[in-house]
A and B are shown apart, each in its own frame.
Chain A
Amino acid sequence: MINTEKSVITEIEYLGMSGWEKFRYNFVSFFKRLPVTFLRFFTVTIPALALRFWRAFLGIFRKIGIAAKNGDWKTRLSFVIMGFGQFTRGQVMRGLFYLLFEVLFILFMVFFGAGQLALFGGPGYTETTEAGWVIGPDGSEIYVQSAVGDNSLLVLLYGILTIFFIIAFVYAWYSNVKAAYFAQEMKEAGQRLPDARDDLHAFADSQYHKTLLAIPLLGLVIFTIFPIVFMVFIAFTNYDMEHMPPAHLFSWVGFENFRAVFGGSLSGGTQFGVVFGKILLWTVIWAFFATFSNYLLGMVVAIMINKKGIKLKKLWRTVLIMTVAVPQFVSLLLMSQMLGDYGIVNSLLQKWGLTSAPIHFLTDSMGAKVTIIVVNMWIGIPYTMLMVSGILMNIPADLYESARIDGASAIRQYFKITLPYVLHVTTPYLISNFVGNLNNFGVIYLLTGGAPVMTAVGTGGAGETDLLITWLYKLIMDKKLYGVASVISILMFLITGIISLVTYNRSASVKNEEDFM
């Protein structure tokens, strides 16, 4: 029903629209498409990906099979001694690299990896013993140190590390076999094999992406993907306050944590579903207001600063930008202190006789929500202002020229030219900002810490101004509910991840990447 014929328009129609219509169209169709896209993600995208992986997988085996069948003894020996094929065919450098990697891998497995993998499953752990005092034969007290056993956290961590290594090795081994067979075929066809210098040259040209991306991607794998995989594994364990290794080891619990999240039965009688729903609602409301308030007001400020005839442009901009220079935790700490019930703002207001009782800027549920959004404007408007300033300078002057000739007033020009143009070009920024605000940890954590707490029974210390992300922080730091928190993280990741994928891949900057300019 949602994706009816009417909402699908042709490229020509789209290009024929005015800026306003384009913006409205993009905006509306984005939200209309969200549910469909979510559905498509699970029914189409994932199966398609799976199929692709399966085909690639089969292809790998076919290639290995061919290499095993048709390969000569040099190629076949490469199956065991990596790099042998290259080595004996004159590609010494390549061969050496493969061999070195194999040796390193074997050493790693022998001295580290194998032991970690053996423990990976869980049973067979040595438990840590408790320290204590025993009475010696002469009646003296002897301290018995605790014998630290296995640490399920480290076993899991190192085990995943080992699996990562194994995957890398399998890939290297496959590419080694493939390359060995390829070299054999080249030789048989009487062609010259690329030597070390050719390889080096390729890495500066045709294979340049490998050179450039090697280190960035290594960092990505170690510092982002690896911890995420680790946390996904944690979602299937009972890692919580009562299972903190090495004193108390955690173990696999299957889908127990997922059941706890969806079934709403956390320990301590927390009404999980209700709290989750309430926080989710506020998270969305917050993201909406935080994004649009910053955006619209930032644009207004930018337009004012950039208006012809306004002097000291650089000064105004710098004043606003000073907020960026002070570390956020400092400025927000000051803010929260100034806005306290008995802080300086309230004392001054009372001193000047404007109010008689303190205004609850941060201690009342509604007041705190408004304050947070307003303070967030203080932080966010400068960024929008800077960006919009840049765009305003880029608006073709002839648009205004012709409008002026038509006798359009400044306000009319603003609504007819400036606003549509800016809205149109910043739609991706706007939506990515929205997604960013869904996960905006800093402002809430530093300003209110989620306070005031919810007054209902069974809310587990969740606050009225808590976002999903700050609530998650509480679940981990205060309650050590690592398992459950991992499940919620995965859910949040899926939601925000899919939204952003849809946004970015639909945005014109990605679609028209090739033909830009």
Chain B
Amino acid sequence: MAKKLRSKKAVERSTNAVIYVILVVISIIWLVPFVFLVLQSLRGEPGATTNYFFPKQWTFDNYIRLFTNMGVSASTGEVVSTGSYNFMNWYGRTLLIAVCVTVIQTMIVLVTSYALSRLRFRMRKPLMNLMLILGMFPGFMSMTAMYFLLQLLGLTQNMSIVGLILVYVGSSCMGYYICKGFFDTIPKSLDEAARIDGASRHTVFFKIILPLSKPIIIYTILTAFMAPWGEYMFASLIANGNADYWNVAVGLRDMVQREQLTAYSDSFQRFCAAAVVVSLPITILFFLLQRYYVEGVTGGSVKG
């Protein structure tokens, strides 16, 4: 009996060892692009790409130049001012957009999900179906319409922050699905008890449902916050070529235009540095809030 137990333990141990090996391999595969990004951002030698992995000279200059709006000229190889290519400006604009989008979108999603999950009214089902499928209409088909709509309201170019926020949050109620699923799992008996005590639906929402919804609120915040950083198409259309009105994504895309990537320029290295700067806060957020994210997405999207 004891022998059998020991052999079972041995099997267990060897299985775990295999799993550890696999996990390490997977982690390496998943980290390679990320590490490559960081390494490139610390590369001292000029030129767009290298055919070796580790830099030969290590430097923080790319980050320093990025934040001081300097860059190595693509044509002469001298360090010059990048003029209106102001990374801090793009970063600030995008951060502002992301924060506003997060606040508004989270409110809209929560409110919509609560209404669809807990309130019963005519047209509820058709509305849910409609919201579900509307998002499947190819988005860039409507860019032209949206552009002129914002222009009518004077929200392009110098007002593009407001315009972009509106466009990003405009349809956010369509993302109700996971959040509503989460609300569905909160026992109805809680509401009913409160209703019997004379609480209005408004009170139920704020006093009972929301305090129980921390995971899904954090999940919604995380997803809302990440989206604006990578949006490129509409942001570039609405800026009309003016680099002052770009967001991070448009600016980064321009850094890797063919004519920027010459043998002398540090454009690619600054691009990598910028990408690291952009992804750092999100990585930290994810590391800290991972538990809630998992609970939120599991509670919301998974039911028999």
Contacts and interface: CB of A to CB of B under 8 A. Distances in A.
A347 B50 CA distance: 10
Nearest to B129: A501
A508 B299 CA distance: 15
Contacts of A224: 134-135, 137, 142, 170-171, 174
Contacts of B131: 220
A328 B249 CA distance: 10
Interface residues of A, number: 100
A215 interface: yes
Contacts of A327: 229-230, 248-249, 252, 275, 278-279
Contacts of B127: 213
A210 B15 CA distance: 57
Contacts of B141: 227-228, 231, 472, 476, 485-486, 489
28 contacts: A157-B148, A204-B201, A209-B121, A212-B114, A219-B108, A219-B170, A220-B131, A220-B170, A220-B174, A222-B170, A226-B145, A301-B26, A317-B290, A326-B275, A327-B252, A327-B279, A329-B253, A330-B37, A334-B36, A335-B33, A344-B36, A347-B52, A378-B33, A386-B294, A390-B295, A424-B304, A493-B138, A501-B133
Given A208-B200, A310-B16, A223 B34 contact: no
Contacts of B10: none
A158 B181 CA distance: 38
A298 to B, nearest CB: 11
B242 to A, nearest CB: 20
Interface string B276-288: 0011101100110
Interface string A144-187: 00000000011001100100000000000000000000000000
B173 A347 contact: no
Say whether chain A's binding surface is mostly helix, strand, loop, or mixed: helix
Given A223-B171, A325-B283, A231 B137 contact: yes
Interface string B167-204: 10111111000000100110110000000000011100
A216 B304 contact: no
B184 A205 contact: no
Interface in B1-50: 12, 15-16, 19-20, 22-23, 26-27, 29-31, 33-34, 36-37, 49-50
Given A216-B108, A301-B26, A509 B304 contact: yes
Given A307-B19, A386-B294, A489 B137 contact: yes
Interface string A210-245: 011101110110111111101100000000000000
B243 interface: no
A322 B34 contact: yes
Given A212-B111, A231-B137, A501-B132, A205 B185 contact: no
B293 interface: yes
Contacts of B287: 318, 321
B208 interface: no
A318 B119 CA distance: 37
Contacts of B188: 517
A209 B115 contact: yes
Contact of B297 (A390, A496, A509): A390
A322 B142 contact: no
Nearest to B184: A516
B283 A304 contact: no
Nearest to B139: A441
B142 A231 contact: yes
Nearest to A49: B126
A325 B279 CA distance: 5
B298 interface: yes
B302 A425 contact: yes
B140 A476 contact: yes
A330 B52 CA distance: 20
Contacts of A439: 136, 138
B112 interface: yes
B111 A330 contact: no
Contact of A492 (B111, B138, B144, B283): B138
Contact of A208 (B148, B167, B201): B201
A513 interface: yes
B30 A320 contact: yes
A44 B127 CA distance: 20
B149 interface: yes
A469 B111 contact: no
A468 to B, nearest CB: 9
Nearest to B222: A324
A453 interface: no
A214 B287 CA distance: 36
B303 interface: yes
A497 interface: yes
A410 B15 contact: yes
Contacts of A227: 141-142, 145-146, 149
A52 to B, nearest CB: 10
B232 interface: yes
B168 to A, nearest CB: 9
Nearest to B229: A327
B142 A230 contact: yes
Contact of B119 (A208, A223, A323, A517): A208
Contact of A219 (B16, B173, B304): B173
Contacts of A319: 27, 30-31
A406 B275 CA distance: 53
Contact of A322 (B30, B108, B248): B30
